[in-house]
Structure 1
Amino acid sequence: MKTTVNKAVDTASELTHEAADKATDVTNQAVDKLSEKGKQLKNVEQRLRNEYSEYIRDNPLTSVGIAMGVGFLLSKLLSNR
């Protein structure tokens, strides 16, 4: 009887370890993917910032006009609430 219980405990222990290993692998894969996506987003943000900075330098009056228009629209939207 004791050996049957020992076998059951060993089997349960092995299954628990396998499940924990699988969960760890999936978690590590998710962390790697999120890290990769974070780097991609950071690169996109830097590229867009450079492009917008260049546009603002080349078109300062247009940029001020756009900023004023957006500010006006936001003030109207937020004041109605």
Structure 2
Amino acid sequence: MDIKDKAEDLRDKAGDFADQASDRITKASSKAGKYLGEKGEQFVDAEQRVMNETCNYVSENPVTSIAMAAAAGFLISRMLSFR
């Protein structure tokens, strides 16, 4: 086997390795995309649920909600004014 044959053999092996790596990357990115899509849907569902619960709470307890918002605003203003 001369150098030319060895180089061709090495080139073929490198090509096979690159194809395998490409396939693995494609599969991994597909799985990651699917996972992120599912997590995104779960996040949107959780966001909608929290928003509905918050709206219901504010509707059922308007005075408490205003008091909590005022207290939160006061605390935030105090924290920002100490800087």
Separation in 1, partners of 2:14, 2:71: 66
Separation in 2, partners of 1:75, 1:20: 54
Task: Tell me what 2:16 maps to.
Answer: 14
> Higher relative CO (CA 8 A, sep ≥ 6), structure 1 or 2?
2
Task: Tell me what 2:67 maps to.
Answer: 65
Number of residue-to-residue matches in the alignment: 81
Q: Identity rate of aligned residues, in percent?
A: 37
- Where does structure 1 differ by over 4 angstroms across 4 or more consecutive aligned residues? none
* Unmatched runs of 5 consecutive residues or more in structure 1: none
Query: Cα distance, 1:55 vs. partner?
Result: 0.6
Residue 38 in structure 1 maps to residue 40 in structure 2: yes
Separation in 1, partners of 2:39, 2:6: 49
TM-score, normalised with respect to structure 2? 0.91
Query: Cα distance, 1:26 vs. partner?
Result: 0.8
* Unmatched runs of 5 consecutive residues or more in structure 2: none
Q: Equivalent of 2:54, from 35, 52, 55?
A: 52
**Residue by residue, what CA displacement relative to the aligned partner does 1:20-42 show, whole Å, maximum 9, x if unpaired?**
11011111111111111111011
Separation in 2, partners of 1:31, 1:71: 39
Separation in 1, partners of 2:76, 2:9: 69
